[in-house]
Amino acid sequence: MSLSKGEEAEPPLKFVKSKDEITGDEYDGTQRVQMSCGHAVDPGSLTAWCRSLIGQGCLSLYCPADVNGAKCGAEWPYPEVRCSAALGEAEQRDFERKLALSAARRYCDYKECPRCRSLVERKELTHLRVLCTICSSSLGGPYEFCWQCLWAWKGQGMSSDHCANEGCRDPSLHVLATCGTKDLPRSKIRGCPSIRACPTCGLLIEHKDKCKYVLCSRCHVEFCFACLDTAQACRAAKFGAWLRSCAKPVAPRQTCVPVWSRQREGQPPPEDQWSGRLL
């Protein structure tokens, strides 16, 4: 098959006699694919590992091979995974759809229409009542759904905190209200909520390391997990604040989630460069 102009041929797969670095299975006569990071994997275990990452909402597909007690962590480009895992057409479509959805949810103000599953952008960031143009066209009349509970819209108005569907509530606010607390020993801070909404863009982040300063992977703003000021403002308010409590008291649990109205620029930093975990 000839290549179209500008299209590059994928490099040939390299097979090696080696153990599977994902499962740890020793070489049994079946050759494995050597990935760009140098580690060998079985196409089946590669597919299962990447399916697990994608199912968790990860955008980066990385190598989990053990290297002196730590993960290799090298990122595999999706075309390499697609080729090395020998994905069938249906599985390839499924992988790419889920990756696209994860990217849209993390970086854009899009959600899936509950009826047709197409991505819908919310034009008014304070409105819960959203129109799906695709469903409206196919039904011959307006089809609206609730941005919060993702059911067909019931009730009146657009900017209230819930629609008339039973149990409609902001899931992010529920997480913020019910998450546990933790201590930040390095800064001698006690009883800090373990999950915060980024004060700039509203992304939910769970604290996992000792440092109280967290770099949001979506808006790239570094903030203090304790007082919720930007890291720059927190440091400026108190000398040596990164090793001590803040000038301000620990901020209470958040009761509203900031909405980020922006156009994202650039690329997010690698996930191992920030001290929080996306939810």
C-alpha distances in Å from residue 47, one per residue of 21, 80, 84: 13, 12, 9
Distance CA(118)–CA(90), nearest Å, equals 18
Distance CA(76)–CA(55), nearest Å, equals 17
* Cβ atoms within 10 Å of 34's Cβ, excluding its own: 17
Q: Give the residue among 56, 14, 17 at the shortest CA–CA distance from 36.
A: 14
Instruction: Let me know: does 202 contact 257? Beta carbons within 8 Å.
Output: yes
pTM comes to: 0.52
Exposed/middle/buried for residue 237 (C-beta within 10 Å: 0-12, 13-18, 19+): middle
Residue where the block lists tokens 């006699």:
17
Q: CA 79 from chain center: how many Å? A: 20
DSSP state letter for 230: B
Distance CA(158)–CA(121), nearest Å, equals 15
pLDDT tens-digit series, residues 146-193: 998 999 999 877 667 789 999 888 888 889 999 999 998 777 889 999
Across-strand partners of 189? 184
* Cβ atoms within 10 Å of 174's Cβ, excluding its own: 10
pLDDT per residue as tens, the chain (279 positions)? 344 444 445 667 889 999 999 988 898 888 899 999 999 999 999 999 999 888 877 788 989 998 888 889 899 999 999 999 988 899 999 999 888 887 776 666 788 899 999 989 888 877 889 999 999 999 999 999 999 899 999 987 766 778 999 988 888 888 999 999 999 877 788 999 999 999 988 889 999 877 888 888 777 789 999 999 999 999 888 887 667 789 899 999 998 888 776 544 333 333 333 333 334
Structure tokens of 212? 């109280």
Domains recognised in the chain with CATH numbers: 15-104 (3.30.40.10), 109-161 (2.20.25), 178-278 (no CATH)
* Run of H or E residues at 41: strand 40-41
